């Protein structure tokens, strides 16, 4: 521990001390708001304030000493019965906690701090607490405050430990010190990741002995055959009357062979026993290292009771927060990323879902709403539920808003069920609120939740009953170091696809394949699912179709699913994730790597990236067809890639060029174009300038800097007709610069012919 602490300055240690004690102060004050006479909480609060005062004195932070001392006096007075802490006093003390955190970060305002200290010293004289002259320097935007009556909020939190113990308040749970035999030691995340990797390698190496033992068992069988032949030879010598020397030699050979057989048998038993022990030891080591990465779910929930209390008071709502499953173990990497999405979901429930006490009473509901946060392990996954008993989502109103935003046509909206309608809540910029508030209404919260959960290889779904409430269900892996994956063979090589991103797998009879507008598909639960060869997406050699069934992995969600055709299913595995070397950059369609049981490397597929690659193939009309005997025959007509973010411009250019016999693929922006040109063989690239993610100048520069692509002719077609834009395009390597005003004449076709000739 001394080496670890030596890496921190005294001020950093003070900041750590304040952070730890602030959690105890926040939780204890929230409990006291419900039971002002709780002696256990008053004792914990007094000790926490005293600890901060002592730490502040050690680092000579006089403002911290003064404020902590004033708060300590309040708690001592409450312990002796001289003071009863009501909602207004609790508000003031919570602001004191915020100021202590600000002091530890050297962000406190001295004038506001002086006023706050004076108010806390006179707290027993206050009937109504006035606002300090300066807002708290910490969380002033994240945690809004408002002074309303105590009856506006009933807040408690409970942890569903076991059926025998019942519910335990969050404050009591999070304030408990670690057991004496569970002292914490600081270890960097990087060191833990290395340990997980090494433990995974030990696990793989421990399995190497098993095939070696099986090989030796084969040797034993061959040796038994050899001994049997020697027995027959010996019998033959005695039968045929061989000389004494031959008989003696044969008997000696037979004796030595038998001794070798027994020795090999004994060593095989020892080796088999050693194999079992090593396998068990490797598994135990790996399990213990993974367990060292685990932290209780309570670590991410500590700030939620305070946040819910403050937001509910501002909104004039009465809310009871219940947190269950505080001891559920979660990987530290996942836990660190969970706070933001859960914060969004809780705020969304407070602002959108839960009604005011008056509205709830009129609807026959209890005035106090229940907001429940639950974490459990289910089917090898972390399952988190956020549920309120508020107003719920009115489906017809949501349907109308989706149509009004032009997300789907009115006719299509009628075919969407409730689950599909609720999926639109996760789209960027989508909000059911007309008015933007400080709490929500900007249409970014649920999008953040969806994207964050996807980054963690998880899924999130919503459900709602109008008038009953709304729930969100997050399914996440227990750890990012281990994934449960489906192993498939593609192009003769194994690949892993995370199970959490697979919709389903099936064996498809080729008689079920249909075609529409040049694309093959099959029907799954009244929905058309397009087919694409995984080998084509990854650029692998394609296995021959040997029978009338195809192994299919269905990827994607909502109305955008694709059926990935693989060579064969290998089976499900739990795999240790190894990140790729940063020098490789982003490997297209691949997220990480792993080692199989036999030590062979295996790539883990990046499902989101693969779905984007599939979209590029679809947009370019370059999908291989099943049972198409001519698909490998190279087409004689020349291929052109059109890159433009305007669908109108893309279609105009495509139609003009296709009418002259050219093969035309399209890409929606510079990044898609860059991926497409690396996957295909093009005679010409036509690009716009102003595009998202990567503009035309950057796109052309990448092509001309690539040793394999720099000979490909590139034409820039843009609305920009300024000389400086034309010159910049030519400077980055464009072979031709044309304005879009030329679409209505033969200028575009003439330019293409000048660069690459006619289509044939």
Show the tokens assigned to 64: 């911290």
Tally of CB atoms within 10 A around 322: 17
Residue 386 carries which DSSP code? E
Q: Which helix (H) or strand (E) holds 461?
A: strand 459-465
Q: For residue 39, tell me if it sits in a domain.
A: yes
Q: What is the CATH number of the domain that holds 560?
A: 2.40.50.180
Show the tokens assigned to 424: 């639109």
Q: Are residues 651 and 612 in the same domain?
A: no
Q: Are residues 669 and 541 in the same domain?
A: no
Q: For residue 719, tell me if it sits in a domain.
A: yes
Tally of CB atoms within 10 A around 258: 14
SS3 (DSSP) at 227: helix
pLDDT of residue 558: 59
Residue 491 carries which DSSP code? T
Q: Which residues pair with 320 in a beta bridge?
A: 370
Q: Are residues 652 and 613 in the same domain?
A: no
- pLDDT, block means (10 residues), the chain with 760 residues: 48 81 84 79 85 82 84 84 80 84 77 73 54 39 36 36 34 38 63 76 73 79 81 77 76 82 83 83 81 86 88 89 91 86 90 90 92 88 91 89 83 80 80 56 66 82 90 85 86 88 87 71 82 86 71 80 90 82 81 81 88 78 58 60 84 84 84 80 88 85 87 86 82 85 71 86
The Cα–Cα gap between 473 and 467 comes to 19
Q: Are residues 4 and 95 in the same domain?
A: yes
Q: For residue 369, tell me if it sits in a domain.
A: no
Query: What is the layout of strands, in order, in the sheet containing 549-557?
Result: 502-509, 549-557, 560-565, 527-533, 519-524, 514-516
Q: Are residues 614 and 643 in the same domain?
A: no
SS3 (DSSP) at 124: helix
Of 96, 131, 166, which one is at a domain's C-terminal end? 131
> Which of 471, 472, 312, 469 has its CA nearest to residue 391?
469
Instruction: Tell me the C-alpha to C-alpha distance, in Å, between residue 679 and each of 275, 586, 616, 732.
Output: 46, 15, 10, 22
Of 131, 147, 177, which one is at a domain's C-terminal end? 131
Q: For residue 573, tell me if it sits in a domain.
A: yes
Burial of 92 (0-12, 13-18, 19+ CB in 10 A): buried
Of 257, 292, 327, which one is at a domain's C-terminal end? 292
The Cα–Cα gap between 524 and 506 comes to 11
CA angle 340, 344, 345 (to 5 degrees): 120
The Cα–Cα gap between 682 and 549 comes to 34
What does 740-755 look like in DSSP terms, one character per residue? GGGGGSSHHHHHHHHH
pLDDT of residue 516: 62
Q: Are residues 644 and 741 in the same domain?
A: yes
Q: Are 587 and 532 in contact (CB under 8 A)?
A: no
Instruction: Tell me the C-alpha to C-alpha distance, in Å, between residue 105 and each of 24, 45, 63, 99, 102.
Output: 18, 21, 12, 10, 5
Q: For residue 156, tell me if it sits in a domain.
A: no
Residues, the chain: 760
Q: Are 373 and 324 in contact (CB under 8 A)?
A: yes
Q: How many domains does the chain have?
A: 4
Residue 383 carries which DSSP code? E
Q: Are residues 728 and 664 in the same domain?
A: yes
pLDDT of residue 325: 92
Q: For residue 185, tell me if it sits in a domain.
A: no
Q: What is the CATH number of the domain that holds 682?
A: 3.40.50.2300
Q: For residue 428, tell me if it sits in a domain.
A: no
Main-chain dihedrals φ then ψ at residue 382, nearest 5 degrees? -90, 120
Q: For residue 606, tell me if it sits in a domain.
A: yes
pTM: 0.56
Q: Are 130 and 152 in contact (CB under 8 A)?
A: no
Q: Are residues 697 and 729 in the same domain?
A: yes
Q: Are 671 and 693 in contact (CB under 8 A)?
A: yes
Q: Are residues 79 and 117 in the same domain?
A: yes
Tally of CB atoms within 10 A around 341: 25
Q: Can you say whether the dihedral through the CA atoms of 446, 448, 454, 456 is positive or negative?
A: negative
The Cα–Cα gap between 153 and 34 comes to 10
Q: Are residues 35 and 88 in the same domain?
A: yes
Beta strands in 577-679 (DSSP E): 590-595, 601-605, 639-643, 663-667
> Which of 504, 501, 589 has its CA nearest to residue 540?
589
Q: What is the CATH number of the domain that holds 28?
A: 1.20.120.160
Q: Are residues 657 and 734 in the same domain?
A: yes
pLDDT of residue 520: 79
Q: Are 87 and 129 in contact (CB under 8 A)?
A: no
Q: Are 113 and 30 in contact (CB under 8 A)?
A: no
Domain that holds residue 81: 1-131
pLDDT of residue 128: 40
Q: Are residues 675 and 719 in the same domain?
A: yes
> Which of 110, 85, 100 has its CA nearest to residue 24?
100
Report CA 173 to chain centroid distance, whole Å: 28
């Amino acid at each position: 521990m001394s080496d670890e602490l030596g890496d921190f300055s005294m001020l950093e240690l003070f900041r750590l001390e304040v952070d730890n004690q602030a959690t105890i102060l926040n939780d204890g004050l929230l409990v006291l708001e419900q039971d002002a006479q709780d002696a256990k909480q008053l004792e914990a609060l007094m000790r926490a304030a005293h600890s901060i005062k002592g730490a502040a004195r050690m680092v000579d932070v006089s403002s911290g000493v003064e404020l902590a001392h004033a708060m300590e006096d309040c708690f001592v007075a409450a312990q002796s019965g001289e003071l009863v802490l009501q909602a207004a006093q609790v508000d003031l003390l919570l602001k004191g906690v915020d100021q202590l955190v600000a002091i530890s970060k050297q962000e406190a305002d001295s004038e506001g701090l002086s006023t706050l200290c004076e108010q806390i010293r006179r707290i027993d004289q206050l009937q109504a607490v006035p606002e300090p002259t300066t807002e708290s320097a910490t969380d002033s935007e994240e945690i809004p405050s408002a002074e309303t009556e105590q009856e506006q909020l009933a807040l408690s939190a409970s942890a569903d430990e076991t059926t025998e113990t019942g519910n335990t308040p969050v404050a009591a749970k999070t304030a408990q010190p670690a057991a004496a035999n569970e002292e914490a030691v600081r270890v960097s995340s990087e060191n833990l990741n290395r340990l997980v990797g090494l433990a995974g390698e030990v696990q793989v190496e421990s399995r190497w002995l098993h095939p070696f033992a099986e090989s030796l068992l084969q040797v034993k069988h061959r040796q038994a055959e050899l001994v049997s032949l020697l027995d027959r030879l010996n019998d033959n010598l005695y039968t045929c009357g061989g000389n004494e020397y031959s008989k003696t030699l044969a008997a000696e050979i037979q004796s030595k062979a038998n001794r070798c057989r027994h020795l090999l048998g004994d060593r095989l038993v020892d080796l088999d026993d050693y194999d079992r022990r090593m396998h068990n030891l490797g598994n135990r080591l790996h399990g213990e290292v993974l367990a060292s990465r685990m932290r209780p779910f309570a670590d991410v929930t500590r700030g939620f009771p305070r946040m819910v209390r403050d937001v509910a008071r501002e909104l004039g709502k009465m809310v009871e927060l219940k947190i269950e499953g505080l001891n559920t173990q979660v990987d530290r990497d996942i836990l660190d990323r969970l706070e933001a999405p859960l914060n969004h979901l809780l705020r969304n429930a407070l602002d959108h879902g839960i009604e005011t006490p008056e509205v709830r009473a009129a609807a026959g509901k209890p005035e106090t709403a229940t907001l429940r946060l639950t974490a459990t392990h289910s089917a090898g996954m972390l399952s988190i539920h956020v549920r309120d008993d508020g107003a719920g989502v009115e489906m017809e109103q949501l349907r109308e808003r989706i149509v009004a935003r032009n997300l789907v046509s009115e006719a299509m909206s009628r075919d969407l069920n409730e689950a599909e309608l609720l999926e639109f809540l996760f789209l960027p910029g989508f909000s059911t609120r007309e008015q933007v508030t400080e709490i929500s209404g900007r249409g970014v919260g649920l999008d953040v939740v969806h994207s964050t959960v996807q980054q963690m290889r998880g899924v999130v779904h919503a459900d709602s009953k109008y008038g009953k409430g709304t729930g969100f269900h997050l399914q996440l892996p227990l750890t990012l170091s281990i994934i449960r994956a489906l192993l498939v063979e593609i192009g003769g090589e194994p690949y892993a696809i995370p199970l959490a991103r697979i919709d389903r797998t099936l064996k498809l009879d080729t008689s079920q394949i249909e075609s529409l507008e040049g694309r093959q598909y099959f029907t799954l639960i009244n929905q058309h699912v397009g087919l694409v060869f995984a080998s084509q997406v990854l650029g692998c050699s394609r296995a021959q179709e040997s029978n009338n069934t195809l192994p299919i992995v269905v990827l994607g969600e909502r109305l955008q699913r694709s059926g990935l055709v693989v060579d064969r299913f290998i089976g499900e595995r739990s795999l240790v994730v190894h990140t790729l070397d940063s020098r490789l950059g982003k490997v297209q369609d691949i997220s990480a790597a792993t080692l199989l049981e036999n030590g062979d490397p295996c790539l883990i597929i990046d499902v989101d990236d693969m779905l984007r690659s599939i979209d590029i193939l679809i947009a370019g009309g370059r999908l291989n067809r099943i049972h198409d005997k001519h698909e490998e025959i190279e087409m004689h007509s020349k291929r052109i890639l059109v890159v433009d973010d305007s669908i109108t411009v893309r279609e105009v250019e495509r139609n003009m060029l296709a009418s002259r016999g050219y093969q035309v693929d399209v890409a929606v922006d510079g990044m898609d174009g860059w991926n497409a040109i690396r996957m295909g063989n093009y005679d010409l690239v036509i690009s716009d300038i102003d595009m998202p993610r990567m503009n035309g100048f950057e796109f052309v520069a990448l092509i001309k800097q690539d040793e394999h692509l720099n000979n490909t002719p590139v034409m820039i077609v843009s609305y920009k007709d300024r000389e400086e834009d034309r010159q910049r395009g030519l400077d980055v390597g464009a072979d031709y610069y044309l304005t879009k005003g030329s679409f209505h004449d033969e200028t575009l076709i003439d330019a293409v012919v000048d660069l690459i000739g006619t289509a044939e």
